[in-house]
Each structure stands twice: as structure tokens, then as C-alpha cells.
Amino acid sequence: MPSDAPALVLAVPGAACSASEDISAGIAASASRSCPGVLVRAGYLEGDRDNLTAVLADLPTGGAGHWRAAVVVPLLTGPHPSADMALAAAVAKAGVPAVRTGHLGPHPLLGEALHARLAQAGLARVGRMRQINIVGAADGVLMVVAGGPASAGEAGMIAVLLAARLAVPVMPAALGDPTSMAEAVARLRQARATRLALAPCVIGPEADIGELAATAAETGAACAQPLGAHPALGRLVAIRYGAALQDPRIALRTGRSISLAKSATVVGLRQRRRILLCSGTHRKLWSASRPVATTTLIRSSGAAPVGRARPWVTA
């Protein structure tokens, strides 16, 4: 990347602490490998240390003395009302040219990371047979998200992606919402699941880890670890960064138009294919998983096939 390329700034929920710093550092390192030469920083939505507003304001200037543009990627798998509001306020207060990307999900890479965490906990096997993973200990998965009931609704596609990998029912639920949790468990029981696994679709800083333990105890489900700094998240961050480079505000600040084809090269995801869809001035980047077709994913959730696939990632 050119020296005046926009900085990649991770927006981390909560205040800086040793746990969140370890996670953000791991994700930043992974993203840096996919975006060589790009300045990567992390800023926190709460507290004074490494506050996002200050991190953005302290970015080094770009060419000709202009403020360096920034792409801000939230470390959130889906909507989180309080964190989303804090992020918008922090970026506005910084007063520097910055583009906020969407959340990291839904995306097949989240299904990959969730599967890996379940396998590490002994709740799913990693071996494949005909491109479908065989489940060991769990015959139903309760996938919990932070951010309330609306976030659980948005997480439905991630649950479908995970179910397609595991070949068992997966139900999303909102962490800390007893009604959402009870409904999800009831549906899993209706599907004759008797050995439940709890899959936290959270990175870590945005959730109360104690609440995860309480949920596992209440539901009787064995709990996997949060996503943390799984390498798939770093690749996802790089995908969001690459797609954001097409934003006119970024292209104008850097004095060049960076195509999505180039940004796909920057991201360097060897096992993903990208299809550039152009419709007038609107462009979308579809990053689809090779092993699983969209029609297969829809069928695995019990819904009728929907024909043409929808893009996972929009710019």
C-alpha cells in the first residue's frame, strides 16, 4: 500500500484493559499481515486510555500536510446499540476524515471462527466428510450475541452458516435476555437436541463474560470460548478495510481511486472469491465461501431455497 494509505483503526467496545488489549493486538497483527504497509491502530469507546477520539486525532498527517484519512472498523460481530452510538460520537468528535465500516458479520469467516472455538472445547470435530463437518459432543448449538434482541435477529444468517458447517440445529439468542434465551432453547429441544453447546458469537470486550457462565449454568450447555483474536477476525477486518477504500471520501483524500480488485489483493485471502457487482454508482463486494453454496445454507436452516445468492459484504 502507498505510504499515504488510510489508517486502519479498530474501534474496541469498553475501556482499555489487559484482556481487551490482548484481543485487539492479536486482531491488529492478523489484519496487518493482510494489509502490509497500512498503519493499524486500536481505539477504545470508553475510558481515557487510548480513547478512540484521541487515537484518531493523533494519527500522523498524510501527504501535503493533510490529515491522514482513516477507516474505522468496529470489533463487533453485529449491531450493538450502545457501542454503535458511542462509535458514531467518537468519530464525529475527532474531527478527522474517517469512514466507519459495517460490523464484521454476517460472514462465512465468523462461522469458521465459531466452529473452531467449539472444536477447541471438544464440542465439535474438525474433520470433514464431503465438505460437511461431523459433530461430536453437541447435537444442538445455542449461539449467543451481545446487543439485545435486535442483534439476535440480525445474527440469524451467522447461525445458518454455522449450522451448515456442523449439520446440527443452531439457534441465535441475545445474551442477558431471558425471553430470547428461553425461546431459542425451546426450539432446540423441539428439534430433539439433548446435548447443547453454547457458542458465544462475541469477540470479548463487548460482552460480560460472567453472563456467559451464568447462561451456561442456566441452560445446562457446555460453553465454548468467545471468538477473541481468532485469525479469521483479522482477515474480516482486512476485508472491511479493503471495501471501504472505494468510498469517495477516501479516494478523494488520497488523490486516487482504489479499486475493489486492488483492495482484494491487499486483503490477500487466498481461499475466498470476490465478485465485483456494478450497478450504476453502487458497488458491492461479495466474498463467498468455496465449500458451502448459498442454496445449501438456506436449506440447512429449514427454509425454502431462495434462488440467487445475496452478497455477504457491502461497501
For residue 134, the 8-state DSSP code is P
Strand partners, 277: 284
pLDDT one-digit tens code per residue, 211-240:
999 999 999 999 999 999 999 999 999 999
pLDDT one-digit tens code per residue, 73-84:
999 999 999 999
Q: CA 179, CA 252: separation in Å to the nearest integer? A: 48
**What's residue 149's pLDDT?**
87
Q: How many helices (H) and strands (E) does the chain have?
A: 12, 13
The three cell numbers of residue 132 are 460437511
142 falls within a domain: yes
Identify whether residues 62 and 129 lie together within a single domain. Answer: no
Dmax over CA atoms of the chain, in Å, equals 65
Identify whether residues 113 and 91 lie together within a single domain. Answer: no
Q: CA 223, CA 240: separation in Å to the nearest integer? A: 29
Q: Is the pLDDT of residue 303 over 70?
A: no
Q: Is the pLDDT of residue 190 over 50?
A: yes
1 falls within a domain: no
For residue 290, the 8-state DSSP code is S
pLDDT: is 188 or 150 the higher one? 188
Contact 54, 24 (CB under 8 A): no
Domain span including residue 75: 7-105+231-256
Q: CA 87, CA 72: separation in Å to the nearest integer? A: 9
Query: CA 48, 54, 55, 58 torsion: positive or negative?
Result: negative
pLDDT: is 162 or 66 the higher one? 162
262 falls within a domain: no
Contact 79, 150 (CB under 8 A): yes
pLDDT one-digit tens code per residue, 236-258:
999 999 999 988 877 655 544 34
200 falls within a domain: yes
Domain of 191, CATH number, reads 3.40.50
**What's residue 299's pLDDT?**
29
Q: What is the mean pLDDT of the chain?
A: 79
Identify whether residues 141 and 204 lie together within a single domain. Answer: yes
264 falls within a domain: no
**What's residue 218's pLDDT?**
93
Identify whether residues 99 and 196 lie together within a single domain. Answer: no
Q: Is the pLDDT of residue 273 over 50?
A: no
Identify whether residues 101 and 235 lie together within a single domain. Answer: yes
Identify whether residues 198 and 136 lie together within a single domain. Answer: yes
For residue 15, the 8-state DSSP code is -
**What's residue 281's pLDDT?**
26
Identify whether residues 278 and 238 lie together within a single domain. Answer: no
Q: Is the pLDDT of residue 132 over 50?
A: no
Whole-angstrom CA distances from 192 to 185, 186, 246 are 11, 10, 47
Identify whether residues 85 and 49 lie together within a single domain. Answer: yes
Identify whether residues 40 and 72 lie together within a single domain. Answer: yes
Residue 308's pLDDT band (cuts 50, 70, 90): very low
Strand partners, 197: 141, 222
Whole-angstrom CA distances from 315 to 236, 269, 282 are 13, 17, 9
Domain count, the chain: 3
69 falls within a domain: yes
Identify whether residues 184 and 252 lie together within a single domain. Answer: no
Q: Is the pLDDT of residue 130 over 60?
A: no
154 falls within a domain: yes
Angle between helices 231-244 and 260-267 (to 10 degrees): 160
Identify whether residues 93 and 13 lie together within a single domain. Answer: yes
**What's residue 205's pLDDT?**
95
For residue 97, the 8-state DSSP code is -
Identify whether residues 70 and 151 lie together within a single domain. Answer: no
79 falls within a domain: yes
pLDDT one-digit tens code per residue, 11-64:
999 999 999 999 999 999 999 999 999 999 999 999 999 999 999 999 987 655
Domain of 33, CATH number, reads 3.40.50.1400
